[in-house]
Amino acid sequence: MESVSNALAAINPQTAQPINNKTLAENLFRDLRRQGLKDKDIVSLSSELIAQLTNDIKLRAEKIHASDAPASSPEKLTRTR
């Protein structure tokens, strides 16, 4: 998958987004075909990538919400007299 590695090397470090998603996808697809993957294999891989991304987004959101614990959370409820 050398062409995929080359395409990944073109990632802009400031935005962390590929400079050209279409080229990256074309290179990845071509490399997967060269490795013998069939339609169903590529669809399965694509679904797994989306599942991984979805899980990552969910975990990051949970982490953000956990750090923004509301003042009414049990550990923050203390009475002062």
For residues 30 and 2, give the distance between their C-alpha atoms in angstroms, rounded to a whole number.
11
Distance of alpha carbon 35 from the chain centroid? 23
Number of domains in the chain: 1
Q: Which amino acid is at 9?
A: A
- Determine, yes or no, domain membership for 24: yes
- Determine, yes or no, domain membership for 81: no
Ordered per-residue pLDDT tens for the chain, 81 residues? 666 666 666 666 666 665 688 888 999 999 999 999 999 999 999 999 999 999 999 999 999 988 887 655 555 555 554
pTM of the model: 0.60
Give the domain extent around 25: 2-76
- Determine, yes or no, domain membership for 50: yes
- Determine, yes or no, domain membership for 70: yes
* pLDDT for position 8: 65
